[in-house]
């Protein structure tokens, strides 16, 4: 197991920080499906007792990102395709309403923030900084939720997104995938700025369907990472 690099914030409880750090490693595939997570080893690595480690692992289990076998071991779960499809359904349902709303009201400051995220994605892609690329992608969608006044729904989506996000991470290296994401974002922003709700929704549907349309190929390429669809 890779040693976590985390400096704990002593003003916060330890368990949520361990949860966030391990979740990030799982979603980024730094901790691959099937990787063992020893509570004893994690406690030693983080310099904590086993109690916050246990609490963090239980939260990961609630998101089905790890499987806990009592008195035995804990392992990173394989990617659950049906769970990914449900997360996609939730996200698409919410974001279709969000972009429809945003395309009906001018918001120059939002437009600037969204364009800045797209520009950062292009810069990150050109320099091979894929984590920064993914962060900018997340910021683009998060800013739309913020502008729509539904940030709590973004947090809800994130709780269900682990399997879908890992599937997208496997798909990202495919030739042309990153370019399609950036182009979709630009087309979506253009539709919002032009105040064309129907076009914004159509672009969003196309944008969010990219990875799931390639599930069969992803499963074929990474059989050890996924559960059967």
| Together in a domain, 55 and 121 | no
Report the pLDDT value the prediction gives residue 174, as an integer from 0 to 100.
87
Task: Kindly report each contact of residues 142-145 with a partner whose C-beta sits within 8 Å and lies 24 or more positions away, as own/partner.
Answer: 143/110, 143/113, 143/114, 143/117, 144/95, 144/98, 144/99, 144/102, 144/110, 144/114, 145/98
Residue 175: domain span: 81-222
> CATH number, domain at 21?
1.10.10.10
| Together in a domain, 91 and 190 | yes
Report the pLDDT value the prediction gives residue 229, as an integer from 0 to 100.
52
- 45-77 pLDDT, tens per residue? 999 999 999 999 999 999 999 999 987 889 999
The pLDDT > 90 percentage for the chain reads 86
User: Which of 26, 39, 25 lies closest to 79, judged by CA?
Assistant: 26
| Together in a domain, 20 and 59 | yes
- 143-199 pLDDT, tens per residue? 999 999 999 999 999 999 999 999 999 998 888 999 999 999 999 999 999 999 999
| Together in a domain, 217 and 142 | yes
| Together in a domain, 20 and 110 | no
| Together in a domain, 115 and 213 | yes
State the pTM of this model.
0.89
Number of domains in the chain: 2
| Together in a domain, 144 and 95 | yes
Contact 150, 94 (CB under 8 A): yes
| Together in a domain, 19 and 127 | no
| Together in a domain, 86 and 65 | no
Contact 95, 144 (CB under 8 A): yes
Does 228 score more than 70 pLDDT?
no
Say how far apart CA 216 and CA 86 lie, in whole Å: 17
The pLDDT > 70 percentage for the chain reads 97
Is 6 within a domain?
no
- Residue 182, C-beta contacts closer than 8 angstroms, at least 6 positions apart: 118, 121, 122, 125
**CA terminus-to-terminus distance, the chain:** 28
């Amino acid at each position: 197991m890779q040693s976590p690099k985390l400096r704990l914030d002593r003003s916060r409880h330890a368990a949520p920080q361990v949860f966030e750090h391990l979740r990030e490693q799982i979603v980024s595939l730094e901790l691959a499906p099937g990787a063992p997570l020893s509570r004893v080893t994690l406690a030693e690595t983080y310099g904590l007792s086993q109690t916050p480690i246990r609490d963090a692992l239980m939260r990961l289990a609630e998101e089905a990102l790890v499987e806990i076998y009592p008195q035995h071991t804990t392992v990173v779960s394989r990617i659950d395709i049906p769970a990914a499809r449900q997360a996609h359904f939730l996200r698409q349902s919410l974001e279709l309403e969000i972009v429809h709303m945003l395309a009906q009201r001018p918001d120059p400051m939002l437009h600037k923030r969204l364009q800045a995220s797209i520009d950062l994605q292009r810069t990150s892609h050109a320099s091979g900084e894929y984590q920064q690329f993914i962060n900018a992608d997340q910021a683009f969608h998060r800013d739309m939720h913020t502008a729509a006044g539904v940030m709590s729904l973004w947090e809800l989506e994130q709780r269900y997104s682990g399997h879908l996000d890992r599937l997208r991470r496997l798909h990202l290296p495919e030739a042309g995938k990153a370019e399609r994401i950036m182009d979709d974002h630009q087309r979506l922003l253009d539709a919002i700025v032009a105040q064309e709700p129907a076009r914004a929704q159509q672009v969003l549907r196309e944008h969010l369907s990219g990875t799931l349309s390639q599930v069969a190929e992803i499963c074929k390429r990474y059989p050890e990472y996924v559960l059967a669809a």
